[in-house]
Amino acid sequence: MYSLNSLPVLLLALVNTARCYSVVREYSGQNFFDGWDFYGSWDNLTNGDIWWLNSSQAYSQQLAYVTTAGNAVIKVDNTSNVPFNEKRNTVRVTTHDSYALGSLWIVDVHHLPYGCSVWPAFWSKGVEWPQGGEIDIIEAVNVMQENQMALHTNFSCSHTTPPTGQQLGISGTGQNGPDCSTGPGCTVLETKNNSYGPGFNTNGGGVWATQFDLAGVFIWYWSRGNIPASITGATSTSDIDLSDWGVPSASYPNTTCNMTENFQNQQLVMDITLCGDWAGIGVVYNATCGSSGPTGLCYNDNVVGPGSPRYDEAYFEVSYVRAYTTGTPSPTTLPFASGNGASAATTTGATGDPSVSPAVVTNKGFGRREMGNQGLALDLLMWTVLVGVLTGVAVTL
């Protein structure tokens, strides 16, 4: 039996089992968007009041571009005057490639979108949702001050006893929070400063790293001045070592979440939506943004009308996204949905050792990411309690 205080040491042992990773793909510079698909549809996933543009529209409207410094930008339209009953344009991109267990992803971000109605995310998903699982690496809404991380799964996966220093989101309320298959998933709030909002941007941004492994899912965050030397000194071709990273910000060990049952190969996604099933629901929106307009309604007071200054800060600016692997890929069969009516999938990747060896699999499938799937009533209850955790505001249903 291990004590709670010993968990950080155990986690370091888990994540450092595979210490050295090799680059398999870098998204950066003028070619950043070459490896991504643009969604090109209204938000039929989280019911946001937006259109995610296709690539030609996004480029022509300057909602996706690369700066003179070589940073990739995706943004919300802040120049149009949107009439009532219409939607505002923005962008969602998904990698062509998917990444198997044994992968590591690093994203260097200079600016995150924020503001009333704004809901940005950088996350991963299986080709099938929710069977293939989801990892939320960067996600927040409205004027939250902290980033929130989460897992979404379709099977028996939980997050019950985080190590000392990790603050549960929904899980900390007792409202079915440990169950990763609920609408909000099993969430962890970032405890380090400047992980979202104005503080993140004025501080020069920061870096997230995510280890997707048989041992579990582990997410680190560092603000600009605290990025480990192993990352600041890395190049687009060099290996990376985890030994100076310390304890992750969020840890989901396989002791309570079977990785091969809950996760397929993962595609990376970056998107911005507005309002929708989290940022726009009354209990969440009103807690911090209800007085920002005359109606108290997310769509009416934000999406409709002029885009500036409301959405002047609603953009991602990203230096790079790097995907890494360990070792040499070897074939195996992963029973992603064993006993749940879905057939096993054959891929290359995990061999059973914590230092698993993934392959990159090219595909262009889109999954669904829809918090409402598990029942809006339950989700509203859980988000209501989360509002109290995030803001300290007493909310009455």
- Which residues are catalytically annotated? 134, 139
Q: What is the dihedral of CA 124, 126, 210, 318, to 10 degrees?
A: -30
Q: Contact at 8 Å (CB) between 19 and 215?
A: no
Q: How many other C-beta atoms can be found within 10 angstroms of the C-beta atom of residue 123?
A: 21
Q: What share of the chain is helix, strand, coil (3-state, %, to 5)?
A: 20, 35, 45
In 3D, which of 291, 20, 272 has the Cα closest to residue 139? 272
Q: Which two structure tokens, joined as six digits, stand for 49?
A: 């009041």
E strands, 102-215, where? 103-111, 118-126, 134-139, 148-152, 167-168, 186-189, 206-213
**Residue 38 in contact with residue 58, Cβ under 8 Å?**
yes
Separation CA 91–CA 76 (nearest Å): 7
Q: Write down the residue that tokens 């060990």 correspond to.
A: 253
Q: What is the radius of gyration, based on Cα positions, of the chain?
A: 20
Longest CA–CA span in the chain (Å) reads: 61
Q: What is the C-alpha to C-alpha distance for residues 235 and 221, in angstroms, rounded to an integer?
A: 19
